[in-house]
Structure 1
Amino acid sequence: TLTVQLLAFHVYDYAVLLIGVGLVFVLFSKNDFRINLGTGLLGFGFVFLSLKIMSDSMSPLQGNELFRQVIAALADAPIVAILLSAALTAVIQSSAATLGIALALAENGLIPLDAALYLMLGANIGTCSTALLASLQSPVEARRVAWAHVLFKIFGVILFVPFLGYFQDLVLLTSQDLSRQIANAHTLFNTIMALFFLPLLAPFGKFVVKLVPEKAEEKKFGPLYLDNHMLGTPSLALGQAAREMLRASDIVREMLVDVIKVFQSNDPSLITALKDRDNLVDMLDREIRLYLTRLSAVNLTDAQSRRAVALLEATRDIENMGDIIDRNIMPMAVKRIQKGLMFSEEGMKEIILFHKRIIDNFDMAISAFAGNDRDLANRVLRNKEEFSIVERELVQAHLERLRKGLRESIETSHIHLDIIGNLARINAHITHIIYPVIEETRVARREDTSIEKMSEL
């Protein structure tokens, strides 16, 4: 709307000046604000210059009888004129450009006000195509906004068409200049429609939500099992918290699996997907902590208190694993992709094998925690020392390749060692998950011993 008003004021006479000033800012400024300002001035300058050229080129059409007949026919067929204008605007994706054409025609005496109004209404519909196309692969909120824009404009045009005669009389009062009348009509149309729809926003919003429903995969992510109604029954609440923790662990396992795929495929989209999943884990971690904090206000038995603490610690370990992947390993992947670096064949094989063993250990630890399985927990604990030995062996093997002068190993040494170190950190969190299982077994043994002694007495 502002652009059209500027065009009506013949600002395009200063197009070359705007381009010159914008170019100076872009080429000679180091300040981001001035560079952005210069870019904006360049954009406006080129738009105004192109419209000035277009306006000048239409002068010969003044004597063209066929062109005048086409314009007259459009003035007599408002629906056709509106549809053609909408189609033109959709193709060039700019209502300002379509209205710029209308202004150029008006300045050369080639179009009456009523025909210009039809072009204005069509341009308002056609401009929606840009947002609609941009929203096709966007989240549901973006698609709803785009459709709301489309419906707002279409409803507006439908409401205005029966009253165009009255609207034209109103526009005639705003100025004696036809170009100004067209620009004012555009401003008035959007202002009147905004005021008309303002009290209807709530029902209109509900209509758009029904019109553009969420896809199944877009349902808002959140906790599935943390039911506040179960807080009065701690055993059930702890079970629900455990289920939510396992859900978070499933997401982290997917992240663990995809970590190696990033280094095998060099696919940046996988990095984005991993970051998104880490955000989901962070959210579940926060919700589980809040839920267990509320549960702590209830009178818990000693065993229930220990289980609540174990769940808190396990959730924290799972969340930390996701953070290590997102904040520590992924930056290494980005660096490797950007620099086009490759691991040596031996180094890549070592990372893959170490990674596989960690996933196996992760599965074992989660199973031990979920089932309170002491034997599995002890196996994970025994693996701790073995993993430390393997980590040292991998570092030594890498250093040996460096001594041999293997080019790939030299180029990726820092990244290689960081990956191994961070995978080892993940394994430390995996091992930490099973400590409550082992401790609970010891507590149970002490309690059994106490009961036996009391029985002997």
Structure 2
Amino acid sequence: MIFPVTLIDLAGAIALLLWGAHMVQTGVQRAFGPRLRSILGGALRNRPWAFLAGVGVTALLQSSTATGLMTAGFAASGVVDLVPALAVMLGANVGTTLVVQLLSFNVAAASPALIFVGVLMFRRESSTQARDLGRVSIGLGLMLLALRQLLELMTVYEDAPSLRMLLGAVSTEPVVDVLLAAGLTWAAHSSVAVVLLVMSLAARGVVPPDAAFALVLGANLGASVNPVIEGPAGADPAARRLPLGNLLTRLLGVSLALAALHPIGRFMVTIEPDNARAVADFHTLFNLVVASAFFPFLTPYAAVLRRLLPQRIDPTDPSQPLYLDPSAKETPIVALGAAAREALRLSDVLQEMLLGASEALVKGDRKLIAQTRRRDTVIDRLDTAIKAYLTSLDPEELSAIDHRRLNEVLTFAANMEQAGDVVVRNLLPHIAKHLKRGSAFADPERAELKAMMDRLGGNLRMAASLFMTEDPRAARLLADEKIAFRETESKATMRHFETLRAGRLEDARTSALHLDLLRDIKLVNGHVVASSAYPVLERSGELLPSRRTAN
């Protein structure tokens, strides 16, 4: 068989292996994602539990990157300390070896059964979780099928001079092997798949044991590169402590193992004559040794990382996203959580705009109007960034619950942005007109405007809280607030008409402006209510169609 066809066959088998690993990971995320995140967050209290949680969660997800993203989110928000977060990553690195250990045994015969059962669960079960578990079963079956195909290909082509020449060239230098496997792991985003590929090559003697071990070291190194390279540009350096700390532990471990590769190789071959099993055992042993070496020194190691990457003190551009990590897109539950945290920043900026508008009205300071107007640019840019981030997620990777949450985040962000537009285009111009005229509101009118602005600020805080809790009781309370704003507007309208009938033209101009301001406040409140109360009420069947458009 000609050499190009050999490469195509290998590429197809490797692609099937990668796709199987991808299906297992996404299936587990869909079925148990929120529970795994809760377990991981609860375990981040001390180092031993954090380490065990990292092992278990990663063994299920088959991705230390996914575990690292969840942990990085906790660490970046200050919920957990850096020390237990580093312990999680040590456990995650060990957890990736468990699947490799399982698949290193002769379990290829189970492939058809796993695929058959998985298809039945996916096609016939109405339960969402059962369908996700069916996806996991199909993925495992495809991985076993790919491994069997790789072994068969190696049997057919192991004596092909062209393949021997290519693999022989890259097997002579361990450093080249490390760099090659690291690059492949970075591109594939799966150290499990790369190590399984190395096992297949070693099982047929296509690569010698020392070269196979060097490739395994490269796969371990490549798995820690992704979070560092793909982290958000311009983020607080403190957010990079965890991924960089994980990379440095791997880099030091790989360097020491590479220096002692020959004696380690002889030892591994002596205790395990089966080359495939020797590769799996070396992979596990390497990560256990690195974890054991660093675990007692995590506290001083964390202190070094804090000095290397101090928290940014200088104020950043408020319009720049803080939580939209591009590398989190591979883990939908993490990406949605990041987008929700970013969306809450919109409510904070809108709160500042309302406070600025209220103070400008009370103090008569036109500079406050200009400052408040500039904050609308912050809302617009953050809203655009959130929408671009969420719409770039692969819909196929999202469960029904994920799709619902994505729509809720988009709804919240859109209403915050529209409320900001009302403040800039309606409320602030009316305040500026009031200040330009130099007219004075009567004491009852001034008190009413202040009371409604204060009430609007309270509703905005309630909406932000409801966006996270999704409590139907709070949703009903927030929705009922529209009644109070509508009644206030109706009373102000009646007073304005009475002033017109009395022929008090100067008072009528002031009352008209007062009415315009109340209507603007009511319109902002309508967007605040729609941002978080309506999605919760609609889901519970309590939202009337007429209320979706009523202001």
TM range (shorter): 0.5 to 0.7
Q: How big is the shift at 1:114?
A: 0.9
Report which structure shows greater RCO (CA 8 Å, sep ≥6). Answer: 2
Inter-partner Cα distance in structure 2 for 1:57 and 1:4: 20
Corresponding position: 1:152 with 2:254: no
Q: Return the letter of the residue paired with 1:170.
A: F
Partner Cα distance (1:39, 1:136) in 2: 31
Aligned ranges 1:22-421 → 2 under 5 Å: 22-137=118-233, 140=237, 142-216=239-313, 250=352, 253=355, 268=383, 334=411, 352-354=425-427, 357=430, 380-381=446-447, 391-392=489-490, 419-420=522-523
Q: 1:139 to 1:27 in 2, by over 3 A?
A: farther
Counterpart amino acid of residue 251 in structure 2: I
Query: 2:353, 2:375 within 8 Å by CA — same for their partners in 1?
Result: no
Cα deviation code 1:9-43 (max 9, x no counterpart): 13343233222222332333343442332232233
Structure showing greater radius of gyration is 1
1:111 partner SS: coil
2:429 and 2:109 mapped to 1: Cα distance? 69
- 1:423 to partner: Cα distance: 7.0
Give TM-score, length-normalised by structure 1. 0.53
Do structure 1's residue 422 and structure 2's residue 422 form an aligned pair? no
Contact 2:210 2:265 in 1 (8 A): yes
Q: Is the 8 A contact 2:269 2:278 kept in 1?
A: yes
**Corresponding residue pairs, total:** 305
Alpha-carbon contact 2:202-2:208 (below 8 Å) kept: yes
CA deviation after TM superposition for structure 1 residue 108, in Å: 2.1
Which shifted more, 140-149 or 192-201? 140-149
| C-alpha spacing 1:106/1:268, structure 2 compared with 1 (3 Å) | same
Change (3 A) 1:141 1:42: farther
Deviation of the 1:335 alpha carbon: 7.9
Conserved in 1, the CA contact under 8 Å of 2:108 and 2:144? Answer: yes
1:118 offset after TM fit, Å? 0.8
TM-superposed deviation, 1:249: 7.2
* Alpha carbons of structure 1 residues 253 and 35: separation in structure 2 relative to 1, 3 Å: farther
Change (3 A) 1:187 1:180: same
CA contact (8 A) 1:88 1:98 kept: yes
Secondary structure of the residue aligned to 1:63 is coil
Query: Which amino acid in structure 1 is aligned with residue 447 of structure 2?
Result: L
2:143 counterpart letter in structure 1: V
Q: Which runs of 5+ in 2 are unaligned?
A: 1-96, 319-348, 359-371, 388-406, 436-440, 453-484, 495-518, 530-551
* Pairwise CA distance, 1:180: 0.5
The one-letter code matched in structure 1 to 2:355 is: R
Read off the aligned partner of 2:489 and give its amino acid letter: E
Tell me if the contact between 1:55 and 1:101 (Cα under 8 Å) persists in the aligned partners. Answer: no
Asked if structure 2 preserves the Cα contact closer than 8 Å seen for 1:174 and 1:184, the reply is: no
Counterpart secondary structure, 2:260? helix
**C-alpha distance in 1, partners of 2:490/2:424?**
13
* Cα shift readout 1:306-331 (whole Å, capped 9, x = no counterpart): xxxxxxxxxxxxxxxxxxxxxxxx98
- TM score, norm. by length of structure 2: 0.45
Which residue of structure 1 aligns with residue 547 of structure 2? none
Question: Match for 2:411: what amino acid?
Answer: V
